[in-house]
């Protein structure tokens, strides 16, 4: 592969410990947003390497928060915990067990326990305005966000709490079944009710100030209710509208959090490669789809948003064989011929970090990274025997600014599978 030739401006670095991340930290420089991907939602090494990068960004470059592909109410509970606002007597794993929406293993796992433990320790040593946060960007938590609003507003704003209760009543007939709501919303929806609730909360939000982040939390839960209703109502369409609704919501949420933390705030994003890797350089573009990686580059410039993808050749992963199915450790077979994972494996079985020069004059027609090649993407539903469709054609050096390649990866450690002796298993293959 030509990336090893002197004339290529792509740089390849060995990767074995946190110190090896120095070139990536130099590439990030003063960027405001760093998007860290993953090729699956169930791989140990993706979580631990993202944690290693995140710790250095927080400690060395003053990044303010992590925003993840998770529900706002559950992540906000973690945020309050690590900042010392709530649940101080609890262990991290007790707080994370509140992630009970399938797939529970995405955030309720021992790798995240280790990261949350580090964040809480870091924050205890930091002044209140320097504490690192943890927020959820996703759109799914319709009922949970409404319930959180009602619980908060009952004591703070009883009149608006009654409006929120009427909204919840509108949805109650669907028994927290999103698909049932989607089908019935063609004839009767709750759109007007949630929009009115959002308007009311935005008018009064500045008065919700009993703790430092009350306004942010209340407004965001109201936005989730509006966008989740929109998302579920569009589930019955046969286009990619729901994908775009979801990623636009995640970008809008990121902007609200950045605005809350001030003009000099910096964000770390943890999401799947399919969300962070710029959609314009994949087959998604032809389908009219965009993602948060594309939106971040467009809204903040390509110098302000750095995208890091992850991938591996083979190993194991935590996933389910159907939506809602029992989680299980599955084999990840050797990557298919011609994929970027197979190309990298054939070149070397060593783990490594690749940093691209995305300037226009850096293009080298012989460089595999400047061609469109298949790139594996494993979802929470996975069938190893039928993974031909799990590859996204990608112009690699345009989709990412950097790529972390782990030749063989292993499944992460879910909290809901009790580890031996009830103790946290070793979640790092080496010391960071």
pLDDT at 429 (0 to 100) = 38
Nearest of 137, 133, 134, 145 to residue 253 by alpha carbon: 137
What pLDDT is attached to residue 181? 82
* Closest by Cα among 164, 193, 84 to 128: 84
SS3 track for the chain: CHHHCCCCCCEEEECCCHHHHHHHHHHHCCCCEEEECCCCCCEHHHHHHHHHHHHHHHHHHCCCEEEECCCHHHHHHHHHHHCCCCCCCCCHHHHHCCCCCCCHHHCCEHHHHHHHHHHHHHHHCCCHHHCCEEEECCCCCHHHHHHHHHHHHHHHCHHHHHHHHHHHHHHHCCCCCHHHHHHHCCCCCCHHHHHHHHHHHHHHHHHCCCCCCHHHHHHHHHHHHHHHHHHHHHHHCCCCHHHHHHHHHHHHHHHHHHHHHCCCCCEEEECCHHHHCCHHHECCHHHCCCCHHHHHHHHHCCCCEEEEEEEEEEEEEEEECCCCCCCEEEEECCCCCCCHHHHHHHHCCCCEEEECCCCHHHCCCCCHHHCEEEEECCCCECCHHHCHHHEEEEEHHHHCCEEEEEEEECECCECCCCCHHHCCCCCCCCCC
pLDDT at residue number 427: 45
Task: Mark residue 58 as left, alpha or beta (left: phi above 0; alpha: psi -120 to 50; beta: remaining).
Answer: alpha
Report pLDDT digits (tens) over 175-194. 777 778 888 776 778 888 89
The Cα–Cα gap between 306 and 388 comes to 29
More confident residue, 324 or 42: 42
CA distances from 62 to 28, 151, 197, 267, 414 (A): 12, 34, 36, 10, 30
**pLDDT tens per residue across span 250-271:** 999 999 999 999 999 999 999 9
* Backbone φ/ψ region at 22: left (φ over 0), alpha (ψ -120 to 50), beta: alpha
What's the whole-model pTM score? 0.92
Q: In this predicted structure, which of 127-131, 231-235, 382-386, 418-422 has the lowest mean pLDDT?
A: 418-422
- Reported as a pLDDT band with limits 50, 70 and 90, residue 297 is very high
pLDDT for residue 359: 66
- Mean per-residue pLDDT, 95-110: 93
Given this model, what pLDDT does residue 238 score?
58
Over 70: is that where the pLDDT of 7 sits?
no
Of all residues in the chain, the percent with pLDDT exceeding 70 is 91
pLDDT in tens, 332-356: 999 999 999 999 999 999 999 999 9
pLDDT of 350 reads: 97
Mean pLDDT over 300-323 rounds to 95
- Taking 90 as the threshold, does the pLDDT of residue 426 lie above it? no
Mean pLDDT over 298-306 rounds to 93
Query: Looking at the predicted structure, is the pLDDT value of residue 9 above 80?
Result: no
Question: Does the pLDDT at position 40 exceed 80?
Answer: yes
Residues in the chain: 432
Give the mean pLDDT of 209-232. Answer: 88
Q: Which residue has the higher pLDDT, 211 or 135?
A: 135
pLDDT tens, position by position, 153-165: 998 889 999 999 9
Q: Specify the range with the lowest mean pLDDT, choosing from 89-98, 240-249, 254-263, 415-424.
A: 415-424
Query: Given a cut of 50, is residue 423 above it in pLDDT?
Result: no
Mean per-residue pLDDT, 28-57: 98
pLDDT for 2: 34
Number of Cβ within a 10 Å radius of residue 419: 12
Q: Is residue 145 over pLDDT 60?
A: yes
Q: What are the angstrom distances between the C-alpha of 345 and each of 312, 339, 340, 361?
A: 8, 10, 9, 28
**Which one is predicted more confidently, 269 or 142?**
269
Q: How far apart are CA 359 and CA 339, in angstroms?
A: 24
* 432 pLDDT above the threshold of 70: no
Confidence of residue 106 (pLDDT cuts 50, 70, 90): very high
Kindly tell me if the per-residue pLDDT of 360 is higher than 90. Answer: no
* pLDDT of 421 over the 80 cut: no
The neighbouring-strand residues paired with 312 are: 406
Q: Can you tell me the mean pLDDT for 135-152?
A: 92
pLDDT for the residue numbered 363: 52
Mean pLDDT computed over 206-220: 83
Arithmetic mean of pLDDT over the chain: 89
Percentage of the chain exceeding pLDDT 90: 71
Query: What ranges do the domains of the chain cover?
Result: 2-136+266-422, 142-239
Q: Which CATH number fits domain 2-136+266-422: 3.30.360.10, 3.40.640.10, 3.40.1660.10, 3.40.1230.10?
A: 3.40.1660.10
| pLDDT tens-digit series, residues 49-78 | 999 999 999 999 999 999 999 999 999 999
Provide mean pLDDT across the span 118-142.
95
Please, which pLDDT band fits residue 364 given cuts at 50, 70 and 90? low
> Which of the four pLDDT bands, split at 50, 70 and 90, describes residue 387?
confident
């Amino acid at each position: 592969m030509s990336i090893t030739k002197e004339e290529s401006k792509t740089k390849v670095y060995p990767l074995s410990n946190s110190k090896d991340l120095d070139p990536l930290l130099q590439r990030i420089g003063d960027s405001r947003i760093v998007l860290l991907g993953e090729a699956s939602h169930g791989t140990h090494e993706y979580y631990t390497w993202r944690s290693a990068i995140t710790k250095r960004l927080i400690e060395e470059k003053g990044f303010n928060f992590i925003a993840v592909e998770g529900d706002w109410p559950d992540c906000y509970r973690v945020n309050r915990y690590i900042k010392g606002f709530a649940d101080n007597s609890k262990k991290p794993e007790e707080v994370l067990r509140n992630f009970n929406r399938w797939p529970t293993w995405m955030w309720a796992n021992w790798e995240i326990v280790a990261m949350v433990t580090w964040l809480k320790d870091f924050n205890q040593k930091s002044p209140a305005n320097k504490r690192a946060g943890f927020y959820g960007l996703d759109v799914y938590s319709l009922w949970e966000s409404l319930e959180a609003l009602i619980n908060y507003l009952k004591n703070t704003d009883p009149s608006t709490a009654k409006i929120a209760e009427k909204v919840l009543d509108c949805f109650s007939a669907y028994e927290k079944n999103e698909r049932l709501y989607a089908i019935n919303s063609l004839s009767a929806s709750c759109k007007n009710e949630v929009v009115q609730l959002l308007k009311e909360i935005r008018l009064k939000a500045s008065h919700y100030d009993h703790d430092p982040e009350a306004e942010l939390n209340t407004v965001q839960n109201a936005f989730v209710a509006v966008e989740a209703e929109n998302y579920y109502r569009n589930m019955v369409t046969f286009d990619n509208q729901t994908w775009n609704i979801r990623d636009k919501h995640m970008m809008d949420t990121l902007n609200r959090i950045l605005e809350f933390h001030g003009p000099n705030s910096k964000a770390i994003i943890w999401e799947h490669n399919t969300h962070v890797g710029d959609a314009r350089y994949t087959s998604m573009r032809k389908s009219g789809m965009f993602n948060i990686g594309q939106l971040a580059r467009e809204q903040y410039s390509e110098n302000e948003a750095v995208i890091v993808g992850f991938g591996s050749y083979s190993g194991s992963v935590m996933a389910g064989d159907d939506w809602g199915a029992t989680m299980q450790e599955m084999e990840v077979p050797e990557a298919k011929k011609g994929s970027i994972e197979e190309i990298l494996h054939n070149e070397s079985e060593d783990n490594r970090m690749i940093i691209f020069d995305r300037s226009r004059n850096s293009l080298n027609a012989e460089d595999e990274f400047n061609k469109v090649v298949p790139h594996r993407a494993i979802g929470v539903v996975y069938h190893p025997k039928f993974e031909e469709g799990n590859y996204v054609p990608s112009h690699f050096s345009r989709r990412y600014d950097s790529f972390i390649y782990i030749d063989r990866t292993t499944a992460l450690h879910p909290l809901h599978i009790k580890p031996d002796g009830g103790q946290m298993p070793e979640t790092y293959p080496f010391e960071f």
